[in-house]
Amino acid sequence: MFLTRLIYVSTATEKFASSSLEDILQVGRLNNTKNGITGMLCFKEKYFIQCLEGSRKAINHTYNKILKDERHTNVVLLEYSQINVREFNDWCMGYIPTSHFTEPLILKYSKSAVFRPYDMSRASAYMLLLEFKKNYTSF
Ligand SMILES: Cc1cc2nc3c(=O)[nH]c(=O)nc-3n(C[C@H](O)[C@H](O)[C@H](O)COP(=O)(O)O)c2cc1C
DSSP the chain: --EEEEEEEEEE-TT--TTHHHHHHHHHHHHHHHHT-EEEEEEETTEEEEEEEEEHHHHHHHHHHHHH-TTEEEEEEEEEEE-SS-S-TT-SSEEE-GGG--HHHHHHHSSSSS--GGGS-HHHHHHHHHHHHHHHHT-
Domains by residue range for the chain, with CATH: 3-137 (3.30.70.100)
Task: Tell me the pTM.
Answer: 0.94
pLDDT in tens, 51-92: 999 999 999 999 999 999 999 999 999 999 999 999 998 888
Ligand 1 centroid – CA 112 distance (Å): 30
Q: What is the mean pLDDT of residues 5-18?
A: 94
Q: What is the mean pLDDT of residues 31-51?
A: 95
pLDDT in tens, 84-134: 999 998 888 888 888 878 888 899 999 999 999 999 999 999 999 999 888
Q: Which of 24, 43, 96 to mutate to test the pocket of ligand 1 (most atoms within 8 A of CB)?
A: 24
Task: Find out whether the beta carbon of 92 lies less than 6 Å from any atom of ligand 1.
Answer: no
Q: Which atom belonging to ligand 1 lies closest to the Cα atom of 72? A: 31
